[in-house]
Amino acid sequence: MSERPHWNVPTGASPLPLEIRVHGRGGQGGVTCAKLLAAMFAEQGRHVQTFGDYGSERAGAPVRAFTRVDLAPITNRNKVYRPHHLLVLDAALLPSGSGDDVLDGAGPGALLLLNTARGLAAFTSSHDAFRVAAVDATAIARRHGIGSAALVIVNTTVAGAYARAVDLPWAVVERAFRSLGMDGDLGAAREAYAAVAVRPPRPGAIAPAPRVPAPPRPVLGLAEHVRDVPTALPTGTWRTQRPRYRSHVAPCSAACPAGNDVVGFVQALRTGGVEAAARLLLATQPLPSVCGRVCPAPCAAACNRAAYDGAVNVRALERWIGDRLADAGARAPLAARPRRFAVVGGGPAGLSAAFALRSAGHEVLLLEAGTGLGGVLRTGIPAYRLPLDVLDRDVARVLATGVDARCGVAIDGPGVRALAADHDAVILAAGLPRPARLDAPGASLGGVRDGLGFLDAVRRGERPTLRGHVVVVGGGNTAVDCARTALRCGAARVTIAYRRGREEMPAIPTEVEEALAEGVALLTHRQPVGFAGGGAVARVTLAEVEPGAPDASGRRRPVVTGRASDLACDAVLLALGQGPDPALVPAGWSVRGGRCMDGERPTDVWLAGDLATGDGTVAHAIGSGRRVAARALAAVEGAPVPAERAAPAEDRVTPAHVRFSHFEVRRPRPERHAAAADRARCFAEVNGGLEDASEAERCFSCGRCTRCDTCLLSCPEGVVSRSGDGYAVDEAFCKGCGVCVAECPRRAMEMTLDAEAR
């Protein structure tokens, strides 16, 4: 765009005084648009005057604004009846028949600037007496994020297009915007300045005749005033956007690795009780009492209520449902053509896969190498966090469906081949049984042992006697479980050594807090580099660790320094993570995308749970088991593999979408915890759970309508009514003002574009 030294008198315009009329809808910013125009001409040294035709000032209503430009001071105080330039902020305002006055008084050659998505071509045959300019200001302003979801504000964008249409130099536009403090919109204005298309008037074309003033409306007789006169104004025609009821994705549900409908089951608990909530929960989650205790609860970490008065304690509610669910499960009927599946591994992923497949009517053989089902839930999680009877009840519900479970059956590569030959599909969910070794001098000394093995022994009823100072190496839940179990086995003192900082510990933060409360010490940024002692370990050498460059996951890679010190100890428990059994996948096979491949041939053997993902939480394992089961079934039946696509980010409900003012401040209900001094020496469950289910009342129900009537009450036109399970909007009168959507406390509504050409 070249800079022009002087303002050219606009083509087709009358000489000064220049009169401009802006037509828009309430909320589009027409008055400010007219003011921007005035500012541009004032920058050129002209006298200007600008004002709005103020009416009922309601969003969506047609509104007008005016600007006059002259060389002499302006004394004309009237509205503009013979405009030289017409700006139409919404082309849908153009005459569609009778009664419209947008073009009223504009003579041949007048500039008609339209905000339209239809382009100049749509106006080739119409309005040919005018010099027509067209720009899709709504699209441009929307791209630049001007306005809100309920209403795009196009005024500044249209002003940019206008400047180009009348050959004003860009520098004038910039100065005018700055003078009104609207620099932020210059980007959109600049885009419109470049994008506007202009068409000359057709010589000899005749402009529409000025409107004949309508006769004054008759005044109602006195008696008429007491009657409810129906409005003759179909305000629905003012609408450019319309409200719609649509559920959005709650952050808790989006965050759940198991794929639970979190907001759904919490709301079901609130409105329908335990059984109603369990129906939703059991669709994705066979182990609610387990997850209600040991899940790190990413749902609560994502909860929008955290930005208000504290996240909803979803985990405790899940436990409430699981513990009080009377339904012990029932035998699932077989499908018409039942398929035969084998699941290897009775941990959470295997149980989840078996439950999903058996519930869908297929035969499931579940094989577990250990003595009982539950995997790490049974062998690795201490009783004070997860009592065995709780685990047994959840497992029993899975088995009740008719799963053929066999324990003490270890499967290796040839075994997998044999299972594959006998079954339609095999799901390997054997977890990560091999503890990671520490490659440091003295790691094989007596008293240095694998933490998971220690926990398993305790879980089996052994009570290994510990004494003195026990050092636990690691930062995950296993490390914390080891530390707290060591205390309960008689250790006088327990120290956790972890190579990163406390915030980076993968363990559940509340578990870390509880361990510290029980007296466990935490040494961060320490890595054992050697163990010493005569026969049994007596010292561990801990090197200091500094955070280095971030790795692929964004975590800073620990860098071991040369600074080291010795710590006297009587036992060391290593909780450094685990690896898979390398002999499980048959020799010669490979794994691609969670599926075993025999050369290039995909087999019907699938990997699930930690074996597939290594995510390491019960919730991840449960989600993986169910999803892999669905994929395996789809592959067997030749059906399309179900897509697993996360909801798009723009569909998530964020704190900005929640109207906090709608909700009373109500702090989270605490769970009942045994006192640290009482609990630290015994294996009784530490957390007694909630006293009642009232925590569910705190759920915002993000993205899900609760029939709270806020839309109905806030509609300025009173056109929202209850209908069936939800609401209906009277389209004849809805102006699309967006108040209902803005007022909705939980983003259960949205505005959608009305077609421009109505």
Partner 1 sequence: MAGRLISANHAAALAATLAGRANRTARGFCSGVYPITPSTECMELLCNQEFEKGEVVRVESEHSAMAVCIGAAASGARTFTTSSSNGLALMAENVVSAALLRLPVVMVAANRALGPPWNLWADHGDTLLLRDSGWVQFYCADNQEVLDTVLCAYRLAEDHRVLLPVLVCQEGFVLSHTTTRTEVPSQEEVDRFLPPLELPARLRDTPRALGGVDVPGVAEAHRAQHHEAMARVFEVYREVQDAFERELGRRPADPVVPYRAEDADLLVVSMGTIAVTAQRAVDEARARGERLGAVRVRTFRPSPAEQLAAIFRGKRRIAVIDRDLSLGFGGVLWGEVRGLAEPGAVVQGYVIGVGGGDVRPEHVAAVAADLAARTAAGRPVLMETGA
Question: In the complex, which residues of this chain contact partner 1 (CB under 8 A)?
Answer: 35, 38-39, 42, 45, 47-52, 54, 74-79, 179-180, 213, 216
Query: Least Å distance between CB 220 and partner 1?
Result: 11
In the chain, the amino acid numbered 77 is R
Cβ-based neighbours of 211, under 8 Å, separated by 6 or more? 101, 104, 105
CB 294 within 8 A of CB 242: no
Distance CA 709, CA 720 (A): 9
Nearer to partner 1 by Cβ, of 231 and 723: the residue is 231
Host H or E run for residue 603: strand 601-607
Query: Least Å distance between CB 175 and partner 1?
Result: 12
Distance CA 136, CA 90 (A): 10
Query: Least Å distance between CB 138 and partner 1?
Result: 26
Nearer to partner 1 by Cβ, of 57 and 697: the residue is 57
Distance CA 44, CA 167 (A): 12
Query: Least Å distance between CB 54 and partner 1?
Result: 5
Query: Least Å distance between CB 712 and partner 1?
Result: 25
Nearer to partner 1 by Cβ, of 229 and 643: the residue is 229
Query: Least Å distance between CB 98 and partner 1?
Result: 18
Query: Least Å distance between CB 35 and partner 1?
Result: 6
CB 671 within 8 A of CB 688: yes
How many C-beta neighbours within 10 Å does residue 146 have? 23
Q: Omega into 17 within 30° of 0, i.e. cis?
A: yes
SS percent in the chain: helix, strand, coil, step 5: 35, 20, 45
Nearer to partner 1 by Cβ, of 18 and 569: the residue is 18
Nearer to partner 1 by Cβ, of 44 and 706: the residue is 44
Question: Hey, CA dihedral for 716, 718, 719, 723, is it positive or negative?
Answer: positive
Name the token pair of 403: 């799963």
Nearer to partner 1 by Cβ, of 45 and 203: the residue is 45
Coil, strand or helix: which one is 476?
Answer: coil
Query: Least Å distance between CB 213 and partner 1?
Result: 5
User: What is the bridge-based pairing of β-strands 131-135 and 62-70?
Assistant: unpaired
Distance CA 560, CA 717 (A): 68
Distance CA 356, CA 717 (A): 49
Nearer to partner 1 by Cβ, of 64 and 484: the residue is 64
Query: Least Å distance between CB 725 and partner 1?
Result: 38
Query: Least Å distance between CB 87 and partner 1?
Result: 17
Find the distance separating the first CA and the last CA of the chain, reported in whole Å: 36
Query: Least Å distance between CB 664 and partner 1?
Result: 26
Nearer to partner 1 by Cβ, of 27 and 447: the residue is 27
Coil, strand or helix: which one is 637?
Answer: helix
Report angle CA 722, 728, 731 to the nearest 5 degrees.
145
Instruction: Supply the DSSP string of 743-754, one letter for each residue.
Output: H-TT--EEEEEP
CB 417 within 8 A of CB 507: no
Q: Which three-class secondary structure string do you get for 440-494?
A: CCCCCCECEEEHHHHHHHHHCCCCCCCCCEEEEECCCHHHHHHHHHHHHCCCCEE
Nearer to partner 1 by Cβ, of 49 and 603: the residue is 49
Nearer to partner 1 by Cβ, of 72 and 328: the residue is 72
Instruction: Supply the DSSP string of 697-732, one letter for each residue.
Output: GG---TTS-----HHHHH-TT--EEEETTEEEE-TT
Nearer to partner 1 by Cβ, of 54 and 307: the residue is 54
Query: Least Å distance between CB 57 and partner 1?
Result: 8
Nearer to partner 1 by Cβ, of 52 and 348: the residue is 52
Cβ-based neighbours of 724, under 8 Å, separated by 6 or more? none
